[in-house]
Amino acid sequence: MCFGRCARCIGCKLLVLALLSIAANILLYFPNGETRFASEHHLSKYVECLHGILGGGLLVLIPAAVFIGLHNDDCCGCFGHKNCGKSCAMLSSVLAACVGILGSGYCIIISALGLSQGPYCFTHVERNWIYPFTQSSGGYLLEYNEWSKCQEPQNIVQWNVTLFSILLVLGGIEFILCSIQIVNGILGGVCRLCCGSDEVKYVCHI
């Protein structure tokens, strides 16, 4: 498999991951499918950071589109040398991969912080909207009996833990794939991505 096809493979995977990330972030805004908590600003501050929509979503869609486009074999090259054009294209994909790493890294960090702090919810003990698990530093994740502290929205702890965990995993996979493309892009650029009988090939396992 040539460098360009490997890049396209990575791009297709990033495209799916970015769309899933956007969907997961949108779901965070609507606990149990209800819209009133978002309109009343009764959501965790980390939900409003758009880490799935902006970080793991839009900023990852950019390199995904670039990588998928690298599979096209219609480079004009420079000064009539097609290989030179392909080499520049592969090296430019490294910059796009860096954008993806920034986006996925942002998604990872905010997801981890969201899991650590816990949800913003109404508790009968305090009779107010608070972060009841802030002091636990993420320890509440294993203390299931404490989850009942949150009375509203219903099942908000499960909702947040599930979606933040999904975003954390998606961001991690995106980060790894973009890192692989940095190596792939540098190798493809330096080795002058070739076509036909002179094609430089290697196996790309993802």
Q: Which of the listed ranges 73-82, 161-170, 188-197 does the model predict with the highest average pLDDT?
A: 161-170
Q: What is the pLDDT of residue 188?
A: 77
Q: Per residue in 77-132, pLDDT tens?
A: 443 445 555 566 777 889 999 999 999 999 999 999 999 999 999 988 778 899 99
Residue 200 has pLDDT above 80, yes or no: no
Question: 41 phi and psi, to 5 degrees?
Answer: 60, 40
Q: 153: cis peptide before it, omega within 30°?
A: yes
Q: What is the pLDDT of residue 144?
A: 85
List, in order, residues 6 or more apart from 124 with CB less than 8 Å away.
151
Q: What pTM value is reported for the model?
A: 0.82
Q: What is the pLDDT of residue 71?
A: 59
Token pair 């833990």 is at which residue?
161
Residue 62 has pLDDT above 50, yes or no: yes
Residue 48's nearest CA partner among 97, 117, 124, 140 is 117
The DSSP letter of residue 30 is: S
Average pLDDT, the chain: 84
